[in-house]
A and B are shown apart, each in its own frame.
Chain A
Amino acid sequence: MEIALGSRDIGVRARSFVSCEQSEQSTNYKMEAAPSTARTVELSIDEIRRLNDEELVKLFQQGKEIAFRFLVERHQSRIRNLLYSIFHEREFADDLAQEVFIKAYRALHRFRFESSFYTWLYRIAINRSRDEMRHRKLQRFFSFEQLDEGVEAELQARIATHPKNRDDEELVALGLKMVPEPFKSAVILRDIEGLTYEEIADVLKCELGTVKSRIARGRAMLRKVLKPLLEEPRQ
């Protein structure tokens, strides 16, 4: 009797391992167990890779943490690009993007599918960058530094240089620095990230009308600071 019990116990152990590897080997022992499990993992990864965001989130919520990896792979450049547009510091943007994904990882099991995954991710990123800017503002306040004036002077000096020696990307970045929140993030989400007005309303958690006016005002401000650049004839 004890033998039977014991073997069943072990059988269950083996089976549960097999099922967690998503293999159809059932209880039969297969000789090429090791390579074949490796193959099944790779295969199932390919299948997972093809799932859409929503399915991946569901998979994650069912305990398959691997799904998170593909969500990260799919959206990391978006988030990094957004943060880079806001701060224009490459390493810092990457660092902040990691924090955003860590936050997402910890909160993903509470995700309720009320919005799409990437707008949710954008929201976390926007909130995180606002915190960061608030922090910086406070630091500036205590250090009595007038950053904005510096930026403006630099911007004007750069615009004045010859178009051949000028880095337009740098100018746009400096221009964006001059635009205050919440107008800046609205413009970035619309014109750099290419989100629709509805998606932006979802990310920023505000009315469509507010989004419209924020984008318009943000663009107007940016137009004002980059005016000399825009007035030139472009090819």
Chain B
Amino acid sequence: MKKLLQEKMSELLSLYVDGQLSEAEAREVEQHIRENENVRQEFKELLQLKQLLASKPRVEENTSFWVALSQRIETQPSYTTTTAGVLAFKPLIIIAATMILFLGIGYGIYSYFQQTQTLSSEQHRHFHSSLVPVFSHISKDDALQFILFGTLPFDRERRTVLELDETDRQRCKINIWKNTPRVHNNNNCTVQKLVTEAKLNEEQQRLLDSILIIAQERIRASIFMGENNVLAIDPSLPSIKRVIAKSIYSTLHPRQQSSIQRLLATNNLRHKVHYQQQLLSETKKTVHQIRRIPRNRLFVVITPDTLMYSTISLSDSLNEIHRTAYADHEYHCRRLVEQFIQQDFSMLSQQTIGNGPSTDKMKRVLQVEITTFGNSWFQDDDTFRVNKSLSPHNLTIVPAEANKNNQHKDKHGN
């Protein structure tokens, strides 16, 4: 009985310190506190306890919480579909299952042939790591720049640059340069310049805009980076570039094409612009053709110690978050790029081909060389046909020659 009373008193005291009692109840409790030593002691302790708990320091801010979380959301499979919802679409599920089955068989056959074609590259596997698109915020000017000149700056200061070297028809080289001199950045053909120089009409401007949107999207889906200095490149990037460049030219009239060529010539363009007599009525076709550039499932994946030709896992669910969480994503990518270009890839050295221009200031981080199987990589005459079996026959990584020397010099320079 006493214990029960004690418990009742404890609860009343607990409510009293929180100000949860009515006026009359509070008076009653106060009276107990005054009159009863035990109750007074308990009340004091309760106040102290409350103070102790309230003064407990809170956990400090975790700035990388969101970045880590967004990656986890992206990589974890969704498991929220309820059974009821699934059952409601039973016929659809059967159809879907059948389709998946057929697709599976189809892919099995496809991958069998793919594998036979990629004999000399590393075996085909799946790369498990969360990768983020490096160029999720690529501007239209940068996209145009890449389409025309094949250079893509990794950072705002344009110090690290990805470059497609297409001088060789059989091979395509993807270079990553660091500390690039101004020469590389002189090619500046902005959308504005192109529009004024070639006097594009409203229709053409809209078309250009649409094409650039597709280009942005394709470039975004072609280059990924992850923790531990991982870089994944879609080997069809050069042909994407080619096809989009051609579709931009094809929207122009011959006179406009020649003025564009003048503009590009002053900016030291690497490849020739082919004149094309194409009517505007073909433009719808053009955009459709670009959309039909096959999406490569297999990526060239480069890590500090391996070179793979493999599928990568990317879910689209969080792409929007990546796209819109601007500052975080950019910071994250900049850090990844920074780490990547500091990496020494000499372990990957298989063969050194063509050193290319190299000065003290300019450093090539690495060069990926992709050779196609059998036929040539580009088909100049045939505008929109893209080789569907884009699996590279050979992958070669050429690490920066004298990279260590340069680093050495840098250290001394600093």
User: Are A and B a genuine interacting pair, yes or no?
Assistant: yes
Q: Confirm or deny: B102 has a beta carbon within 8 angstroms of a beta carbon on chain A.
A: no
Task: Give the contact stretch, choosing among B59-67, B91-99, B226-234.
Answer: B59-67
A42:B139 contact, CB within 8 angstroms? no
Q: Confirm or deny: A147 has a beta carbon within 8 angstroms of a beta carbon on chain B.
A: no
A219:B49 contact, CB within 8 angstroms? yes
- B324: chain A residues at CB < 8 Å are 41, 45, 65-66, 69
A77:B326 contact, CB within 8 angstroms? no
Cα-based distance from A219 to B7 in the complex (angstroms)? 12
Interface of B is mostly: helix
Cα-based distance from A22 to B161 in the complex (angstroms)? 31
Extra pairs beyond A34-B139, A194-B54, A197-B20 (10, CB < 8 Å): A3-B281, A13-B213, A69-B325, A73-B66, A76-B65, A77-B62, A80-B65, A216-B11, A219-B49, A220-B14
Which residues 23-57 of A sit at the B interface, judged by CB distance below 8 A?
Answer: 27, 29, 31-35, 38, 41-42, 45
- Over the window 126-160 of chain A, the binary record of Cβ atoms lying under 8 Å from chain B Cβ atoms (1 yes, 0 no) is 00000000000000000000000000000000000
- A29: chain B residues at CB < 8 Å are 195, 202, 205-206, 208-209
Q: Confirm or deny: A215 has a beta carbon within 8 angstroms of a beta carbon on chain B.
A: yes
* Nearest residue, chain B, Cβ from A31: B192
Contact of A9 among B48, B281, B284 (CB under 8 A): B284
Which residues 64-114 of B sit at the A interface, judged by CB distance below 8 A?
Answer: 65-66, 68-70, 72-73, 76, 78-80
Contact of B78 among A5, A106, A220 (CB under 8 A): A106
16 residue pairs from A and B, CB less than 8 Å apart: A9-B284, A13-B213, A29-B195, A31-B195, A68-B321, A76-B66, A84-B59, A97-B65, A216-B14, A216-B15, A219-B14, A219-B46, A223-B42, A223-B46, A230-B48, A230-B52
- B142: chain A residues at CB < 8 Å are 34
A33:B206 contact, CB within 8 angstroms? no
Nearest Cβ on chain A to B206's Cβ, whole angstroms: 6
- A3: chain B residues at CB < 8 Å are 280-281, 283-284
Contact of B206 among A14, A42, A77 (CB under 8 A): A14
Q: Which A residues have a C-beta under 8 Å from some C-beta of B?
A: 2-3, 5-7, 9-11, 13-14, 17, 27, 29, 31-35, 38, 41-42, 45, 64-66, 68-69, 72-73, 76-77, 80-81, 84-85, 90, 93-94, 97-98, 101-102, 105-107, 168-169, 172, 187, 190-192, 194, 197, 212-213, 215-217, 219-220, 222-223, 226-227, 229-231, 234
Chain B contact-residue range equals 35 or more
Contact of A11 among B140, B191, B206, B318 (CB under 8 A): B206
A230:B49 contact, CB within 8 angstroms? yes
**A77/B139 contact (C-beta < 8 A), A98-B68, A107-B80 known:** no
- A41: chain B residues at CB < 8 Å are 324, 326
Cα-based distance from A101 to B210 in the complex (angstroms)? 37
Q: Confirm or deny: B53 has a beta carbon within 8 angstroms of a beta carbon on chain A.
A: yes
A215:B14 contact, CB within 8 angstroms? yes
- Over the window 336-370 of chain B, the binary record of Cβ atoms lying under 8 Å from chain A Cβ atoms (1 yes, 0 no) is 00000000000000000000000000000000000
Contact of A230 among B45, B73, B195 (CB under 8 A): B45
Nearest Cβ on chain B to A115's Cβ, whole angstroms: 19
- B18: chain A residues at CB < 8 Å are 190, 197, 215
Q: Confirm or deny: B137 has a beta carbon within 8 angstroms of a beta carbon on chain A.
A: yes
A10:B207 contact, CB within 8 angstroms? yes
A191:B62 contact, CB within 8 angstroms? no
* Nearest residue, chain A, Cβ from B214: A13
Cα-based distance from A106 to B209 in the complex (angstroms)? 35
Cα-based distance from A2 to B285 in the complex (angstroms)? 11
A192:B73 contact, CB within 8 angstroms? no
**A80/B49 contact (C-beta < 8 A), A3-B281, A190-B18, A213-B11 known:** no
List 9 tightest A-B contacts by C-beta distance, closest first: A6-B284, A34-B139, A216-B14, A216-B11, A191-B53, A66-B324, A31-B192, A34-B140, A106-B80
* Nearest residue, chain B, Cβ from A234: B48
Which residues 183-209 of B sit at the A interface, judged by CB distance below 8 A?
Answer: 190-192, 195, 202-203, 205-209
A45:B326 contact, CB within 8 angstroms? yes
B65:A94 contact, CB within 8 angstroms? yes
* Nearest residue, chain A, Cβ from B284: A6
Q: Which B residues have a C-beta under 8 Å from some C-beta of A?
A: 7, 10-11, 13-15, 18, 20, 42, 44-46, 48-50, 52-54, 56-59, 61-62, 65-66, 68-70, 72-73, 76, 78-80, 137, 139-142, 190-192, 195, 202-203, 205-210, 213, 280-281, 283-285, 287, 318, 320-321, 324-326
Contact of A72 among B69, B139, B209 (CB under 8 A): B69
* Nearest residue, chain A, Cβ from B41: A231
**A231/B15 contact (C-beta < 8 A), A10-B206, A13-B210, A29-B205 known:** no
Cα-based distance from A42 to B330 in the complex (angstroms)? 13
B57:A212 contact, CB within 8 angstroms? no
Cα-based distance from A192 to B49 in the complex (angstroms)? 11
**A69/B321 contact (C-beta < 8 A), A32-B192, A98-B69, A102-B69 known:** yes
Contact of A5 among B61, B210, B284, B318 (CB under 8 A): B284
**A66/B49 contact (C-beta < 8 A), A33-B140, A34-B140, A220-B10 known:** no
Nearest Cβ on chain B to A57's Cβ, whole angstroms: 16
- B54: chain A residues at CB < 8 Å are 191-192, 194
* Nearest residue, chain A, Cβ from B208: A29
